[in-house]
Amino acid sequence: MPRKPLTPVSFTNVTFDDVFWKPRVEINRTNTLPIEHQQLKASGQLAQYRWKPGMPGMPHIFWDSDVAKWLEAAAYSLATHPDKKLAKQVDAVVDDMAAIQGKDGYLNTHYLLVEPKKRWSDLRGCHELYCAGHLMEAAVAYAEATGKTKFLDMMCRYTDTIRKEFGRGKGQKRGYPGHQEIELALVKLFRATGKKDYLDLAKFFVDERGRKPHYYDAEAKARGEESHRWHFGAAYAYCQADKPVRELAEVTGHAVRAMYLYAGMADVAAHTGDKTLLPALRRLWKSTTQRRMHVTGGIGPTAANEGFTFDYDLPNESAYLETCAAVALVFWAHRMLHLDKDAKYADVMELALYNGALSGISSDGKRFFYENPLAAHPGAPSGRREPGTHHRRVGWFGCSCCPPNIARLIASIAGYVCSSDDKSLWVHLYAGGSAEAQIGGQTVKLTQRTRYPWDGKVSMTLRPETAAEFTLALRIPGWCRKAALKVNGKTVSLQAVTKKGYAHIKRTWTKGDRVALDLPMPVERIEAHPNVRQDTGKVALKRGPIVYCFEQVDNFKNLHDIALPADAKLQTTFDAKLLGGVCVITGKAKMRVVEGWGDELFSADATKVKTVAIKAIPYALWANRKPGEMRVWLNAR
For 378, the 3-state DSSP assignment is coil
> What DSSP assignment string belongs to 562-593?
-EE-TT--EEEEEETTSTTSEEEEEEEEEEE-
Options 72, 306, 317, 350, the catalytic residue: 306
Measured CA to CA, the distance from residue 21 to residue 410 in angstroms comes to: 9
CB 308 within 8 A of CB 252: yes
Residue 421, exposed/middle/buried by CB under 10 A (0-12, 13-18, 19+)? middle
| Edge-to-edge strand list for the sheet holding 490-492 | 14-16, 433-439, 442-450, 457-464, 513-518, 484-487, 490-492
Confidence at residue 409, expressed as pLDDT on a 0 to 100 scale: 98
Reference 532, options 273, 315, 234, 309; nearest CA is 315
Reference 504, options 330, 343, 333, 338; nearest CA is 343
Torsion over CA of 9, 11, 15 and 20, rounded to 10 degrees?
Answer: 110
Element (H, E) at 421: strand 418-421
Measured CA to CA, the distance from residue 8 to residue 504 in angstroms comes to: 18
Measured CA to CA, the distance from residue 482 to residue 418 in angstroms comes to: 23
Q: Are strands 424-427 and 468-475 parallel, antiparallel or unpaired?
A: parallel
Helix axes 150-165, 84-100, angle to 10 degrees: 40
For 409, the 3-state DSSP assignment is helix
Confidence at residue 596, expressed as pLDDT on a 0 to 100 scale: 80
pLDDT tens, residue by residue, 370-413: 999 999 998 776 656 666 567 899 999 999 999 999 999 999 99
Options 131, 156, 401, 418, the catalytic residue: 401
Measured CA to CA, the distance from residue 243 to residue 106 in angstroms comes to: 30
Confidence at residue 232, expressed as pLDDT on a 0 to 100 scale: 44
Torsion over CA of 484, 489, 490 and 495, rounded to 10 degrees?
Answer: -20
Amino acid identity of residue 568, one-letter, is A
For 103, the 3-state DSSP assignment is coil
Reference 529, options 306, 303, 289; nearest CA is 289
Q: Is 341 left (phi over 0), alpha (psi -120 to 50) or beta?
A: left
Measured CA to CA, the distance from residue 57 to residue 50 in angstroms comes to: 10
Q: Are strands 498-499 and 457-464 parallel, antiparallel or unpaired?
A: unpaired
Q: Is the Cα torsion angle 22, 26, 28, 29 positive or negative in sign?
A: positive
CB 630 within 8 A of CB 549: yes
Q: Which residues of the chain carry a pLDDT beneath 50?
A: 1-3, 232-233
Measured CA to CA, the distance from residue 152 to residue 418 in angstroms comes to: 27
Reference 585, options 609, 625, 623, 555; nearest CA is 555
Q: Does the annotation count 595 as an active-site position?
A: no
Amino acid identity of residue 259, one-letter, is M
pLDDT tens, residue by residue, 271-304: 999 999 999 999 999 999 999 999 999 999 999 9
**Cα–Cα separations (whole angstroms), residue 112 to 49, 106, 158, 511:** 9, 8, 13, 58
Confidence at residue 326, expressed as pLDDT on a 0 to 100 scale: 98
Backbone phi, psi, residue 78, to 5°: -65, -30
HSE-CB of 364 using CA atoms within 13 angstroms: 9
Residue 206, exposed/middle/buried by CB under 10 A (0-12, 13-18, 19+)? buried
Helix axes 323-340, 343-351, angle to 10 degrees: 160
Q: Are strands 538-543 and 563-564 parallel, antiparallel or unpaired?
A: unpaired
For 520, the 3-state DSSP assignment is coil
DSSP for residue 637: -
Helix, strand, coil fractions of the chain, as percent rounded to 5: 40, 20, 40
Amino acid identity of residue 530, one-letter, is P
Domains contained in the chain, CATH given: 7-416 (1.50.10), 418-518 (2.60.40), 524-636 (no CATH)
Element (H, E) at 326: helix 323-340
DSSP for residue 635: E
Q: Does the annotation count 436 as an active-site position?
A: no
C-alpha gyration radius of the chain: 25
CB 264 within 8 A of CB 180: yes
CB 4 within 8 A of CB 338: yes
Reference 352, options 382, 328, 317; nearest CA is 328
Measured CA to CA, the distance from residue 602 to residue 216 in angstroms comes to: 54
Measured CA to CA, the distance from residue 492 to residue 484 in angstroms comes to: 8
The 3-class secondary structure across 447-508, one letter per residue, is: EEEECCCCCCEEEEEEEECCCEEEEEEEECCCCCCCCEEEECCEEECHHHHEECCEEEEEEE
Measured CA to CA, the distance from residue 415 to residue 396 in angstroms comes to: 27
